[in-house]
Amino acid sequence: MANPSLLILAGDGIGPEVMAEVKKIIAWMGDKRGVTFDVSEGLVGGCSYDAHGTPLTDETMAHAQEVDAVLLGAVGGPKYDKLDFSVKPERGLLRLRKEMDLFSNLRPAQCFDALADFSSLKKEVVAGLDIVIVRELTSGVYFGEPRGIFKEGNERVGINTQRYTESEIARVAKSAFELARRRNNKVCSMEKANVMESGILWREVVQEVHDRDYPDVELSHMYADAGAMQLCRWPKQFDVIVTDNLFGDLLSDAAAMLTGSLGMLPSASLGAPMANGRPKALYEPVHGSAPDIAGQGKANPIACILSFAMALRYSFDMGTEAERIEKAVEKVLADGLRTADLLGPEGGSPIGTSAMGDAIIAALDASL
Active site (catalytic) residues = 142, 192, 225, 249, 253
On whether the CB atoms of residues 165 and 135 are closer than 8 A, the answer is no
In what helix (H) or strand (E) does residue 95 lie, and over which residues does it extend?
helix 89-99
Count the Cβ atoms, other than its own, within 10 Å of residue 309.
Answer: 24
- Residues 10, 66 contacting (CB under 8 angstroms): no
State the CB neighbour count (10 A cutoff) for residue 225: 15
Q: How distant, in Å, are the alpha carbons of 77, 95, 115 from that of 176?
A: 33, 23, 27
Number of C-beta neighbours around residue 355 at 10 A: 15
Q: Which of 113, 17, 14, 22 is nearest to 312 (CA)?
A: 22
Is-contact 65 2, C-beta < 8 A? Answer: no
Residue 20 C-beta-side C-alpha neighbours within 13 Å: 15
